[in-house]
Amino acid sequence: MILLPLPGPGWVVIFAGIAVLATEFVWAQLVLHWAKRRVTDAAHRALDPRARRRTVALSVTGAVLAAAAAAYLWRFGPVPPWGLRGR
């Protein structure tokens, strides 16, 4: 479980470990089947056209905001627009 917050392939290692355990233990087989069903359901939901449109709209909005912030920082530097200076 320590792999989840750390950078790297945390979920991949966890599922691979459960797959290895599933060769010996019934509880691991049940967990693996449950996880496979959840991943399949999530994949079907992600391919829903409404969800894809929402994801594209949010991605475009985020990209526009990031480009505006980058343009502001390139033009003015890291100075607040309201002119406050540190005391």
Write the pLDDT tens digit of every residue in 10-65. Answer: 778 888 988 999 999 999 999 999 989 998 998 888 888 888 888 899 999 999 99
Tell which wins on pLDDT, 76 or 85.
76
Q: Measured between alpha carbons, how far is 4 from 39 in angstroms, rounded to an integer?
A: 17
Q: Residue 85 — very low, low, confident or very high, per pLDDT cuts 50/70/90?
A: low
pTM of the complete model: 0.49
Q: Measured between alpha carbons, how far is 64 from 58 in angstroms, rounded to an integer?
A: 10
**pLDDT computed for residue 9 by the predictor:** 80
**pLDDT computed for residue 60 by the predictor:** 96
